């Protein structure tokens, strides 16, 4: 087994200004040290399983966004782990469920014109979201038990899977905690105008629910990459600008942080329906900073409870994320990177460009459901591409370190 099978590798000479290509052959031991960068025994089966689980979590994020955008999330007014798995089956059961829904504020304020068939539509949307979450639990915990019994998961990864288990179990409980906030009568703040007369879940709890999903997805996705792609192929093509790799890795880490933060900011936008105001870009009704941005007191509340400043912050974070990733893409052009790293760089820039475009389009078109759903999905794709590039750069760093030795 040799890393140079596809061509010459990079030697250790001229490290300060770029490594010169030399026909280097690594020993089996050296190759093994490069390939074992992942966190979990290199089991392909485990890697594929976690990749599938991360895909299911991504599906839950998309389905949850559609559930919120269609105002379906408050249709199921209680949470029962097993009983919820069977929807009403008879007309009498449906009518009983509908009568219960009528006792909560959303019906009186938002859906007072609903008939039973309208209620069924939003009920099935929320039911599908909950059932999908339970399916993720089965898809994770049953194979986990099998892999543990067969010894495919090393002890070093027990803590990681304990975190995944806690996040997955906590997500269901936290989801109901979020829904409960929307079942209470709305409490507008007449003094500051920071409240709302429409029943909706707490934007704080919505951001927490989305944040837990993003963390679970990121952990599973990263671990699957570590198990499925634990080496990097250095192909001929000139001298890599090694001196820029630390800056490239630092900017990529910053891109991950910004992608996550922007997505959480989007949850506050969604929770406050902040996308339905100031539907112009780049200025907000002729202002770079609207005069209502700091109308709440104390002033910190504006960051999380004032729809005007919440939208402004999301705009700034979105443009900052795009600019940072554009910097990653430009800097990468000064580095002769392996093909897979190049593909990750191009994918990240393409995805964030599309994401910014979808965000602006959703804003100026008053947040159509399909475009808003695509925009939320785009936030996860942006984070995924940043994770992919970060992982490839980590492998590249370790490969170069092995060659130098």
**Phi and psi torsions of 132, nearest 5°:** -65, -40
Quote the CA–CA distance of 317 and 182 in Å, as a whole number.
27
Q: In which residue are the tokens 């192929």 written?
A: 233
Question: What DSSP string describes 194-242?
Answer: -S-SS----HHHHHHHHHHHHHHHHHHHHHHHHHH--------SS---G
pLDDT of residue 188: 62
Residue (of 198, 366, 369) closest to 278 by Cα position: 366
Sign of CA pseudo-dihedral 288, 291, 292, 295: positive
Q: What is the pLDDT along the chain (405 residues), one digit of tens a residue?
A: 333 333 333 333 333 333 333 333 333 334 333 444 444 444 899 999 999 999 999 999 999 999 999 999 999 999 888 877 899 999 999 999 999 999 999 999 999 999 999 999 999 999 999 999 999 999 999 999 999 999 999 898 999 999 999 999 999 999 999 999 999 888 765 444 444 578 889 999 999 999 999 999 999 999 999 999 877 666 544 445 567 889 999 999 999 999 999 999 999 999 999 999 999 999 999 999 999 999 999 999 999 999 999 999 999 999 999 999 999 999 998 888 888 999 999 999 999 999 999 999 999 999 999 999 999 999 999 999 999 999 999 998 888 877 776
**DSSP collapsed to 3 states, 49-104:** HHHHHHHHHHHHHHHHHHHHHCCCCCCCCCCCCCHHHCCCCCHHHHHHHHHHHHCC
Residues whose CB is less than 8 angstroms from the CB of residue 224 and which lie 6 or more positions away in sequence, other chains included: 47, 48, 50, 51, 54
């Amino acid at each position: 087994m040799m890393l140079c099978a596809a061509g010459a590798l990079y030697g250790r000479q001229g490290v300060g200004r770029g490594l010169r290509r030399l026909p280097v052959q690594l020993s089996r031991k050296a190759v093994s040290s490069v390939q074992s960068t992942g966190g979990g025994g290199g089991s392909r089966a485990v890697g594929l399983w976690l990749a599938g689980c991360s895909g299911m979590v991504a599906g839950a994020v998309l389905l949850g966004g559609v559930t919120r955008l269609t105002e379906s999330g408050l249709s199921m007014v209680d949470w029962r782990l097993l009983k919820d798995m069977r929807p009403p089956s008879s007309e009498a059961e449906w009518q009983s469920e509908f009568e219960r829904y009528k006792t909560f504020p959303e019906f009186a304020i938002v859906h007072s014109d609903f008939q039973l068939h309208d209620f069924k539509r939003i009920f099935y949307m929320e039911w599908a979201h909950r059932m999908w979450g339970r399916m993720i639990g089965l898809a994770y915990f049953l194979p986990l038990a099998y892999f543990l019994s067969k010894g495919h998961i090393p002890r070093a990864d027990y803590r990681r899977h304990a975190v995944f288990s806690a996040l997955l179990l906590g997500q269901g409980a936290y989801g109901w905690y979020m829904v409960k906030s929307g079942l209470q009568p709305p409490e507008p703040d007449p003094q500051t105008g920071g409240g709302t007369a429409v029943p909706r879940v707490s934007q704080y709890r919505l951001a927490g629910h989305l944040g837990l999903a993003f963390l679970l997805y990121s952990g599973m996705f990263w671990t699957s990459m570590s198990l499925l792609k634990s080496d990097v192929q250095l192909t001929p093509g000139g001298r890599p600008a090694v001196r820029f790799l630390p800056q490239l890795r630092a900017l990529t880490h910053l891109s991950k942080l910004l992608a996550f933060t922007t997505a959480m900011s989007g949850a506050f936008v969604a929770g406050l329906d902040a996308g339905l105001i100031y539907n112009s870009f780049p200025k907000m009704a002729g202002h770079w900073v609207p005069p209502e941005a700091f109308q709440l007191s104390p002033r910190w509340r504006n960051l999380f409870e004032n729809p005007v400043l919440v939208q402004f912050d999301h705009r700034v974070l979105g443009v900052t994320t795009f600019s940072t990733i554009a910097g990653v893409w430009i800097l990468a052009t000064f580095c002769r990177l392996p093909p897979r790293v190049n593909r990750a760089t191009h994918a990240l820039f393409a995805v964030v460009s599309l994401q910014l475009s979808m965000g602006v389009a959703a804003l100026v078109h008053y947040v159509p459901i399909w475009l808003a759903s695509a925009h939320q999905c785009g936030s996860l794709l942006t984070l995924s591409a940043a994770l992919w590039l970060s992982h490839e750069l980590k492998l590249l760093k370790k490969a170069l370190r092995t060659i130098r030795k």
